[in-house]
Amino acid sequence: MPSAFNERTALIVVDVQPDFMPGGALACHEGDAIVPGIDRLLRAHRLRHVVATQDWHPAGHASFASSHPGAQPFQQIALHGQPQTLWPDHCVQGTPGAALHPGIDWSAADLILRKGSDAQVDSYSAFRENHGPHGMRPATGLAGWLRERGVEEVLVCGLARDVCVLWTAQDAVAAGFKAGLLWELSRPVTPAADDATRAALAAQGIALVQP
């Protein structure tokens, strides 16, 4: 289990944006419930390193169902030879739904990492984009940024627990970091995914950590 909240630990707050809140374009189950807790955690300055990710798609992104005639949201297709869930249009660059949630004081964030800006490649993880046309998952540069600051462990929270939060935690381990997930400060697209998420975390030794 990560030794939470020491100087070698970084917090990664994933995609806490209005489009993922109830009533948003791609609402997560109880997504708004995590906002007060994340705000308190950032205001307490318990972590020296804080990264916030921001889903930041151009209009007409390849992951949008609307970009594929006849397709429906949440349908799966093959994109660049890999399974791709098609999503409702969400977090389009410059729209209110793509902003970082205004209920959180983001001044503690050292880095705001925008992801998903390649129109042809989805990007769940803070560490790597999804598979692109050349079969690779391009790095975002976050792993190097953290290592330059002496980070050895990461704690992940945010939205959605079964997609971007999970992929970020898994890729943190793949990049050589210890990882923990702040379960109470994350929410899934649907709670039906929680058992599979817990199993995936356990399989990689990713701890569930209390904030």
Q: Which residues are catalytic?
A: 15, 115, 164
Between the CA atoms of 26, 27, 28 and 30, what dihedral angle is there, to the nearest 10 degrees? 170
- What is the rounded distance in angstroms from the CA atom of residue 118 to the CA atom of residue 110? 23
- What is the rounded distance in angstroms from the CA atom of residue 99 to the CA atom of residue 80? 29
- What is the rounded distance in angstroms from the CA atom of residue 121 to the CA atom of residue 209? 31
- Which has the closest alpha carbon to 38: 10, 62, 11? 11
Residue 12 pairs with which residues in a beta bridge?
Answer: 51, 156
- What is the rounded distance in angstroms from the CA atom of residue 118 to the CA atom of residue 140? 12
CB 164 within 8 A of CB 87: no
- What is the rounded distance in angstroms from the CA atom of residue 44 to the CA atom of residue 40? 6
Q: What are the tokens at 31? A: 């997504």
Q: Is the dihedral of CA 183, 172, 145, 19 positive or negative?
A: negative
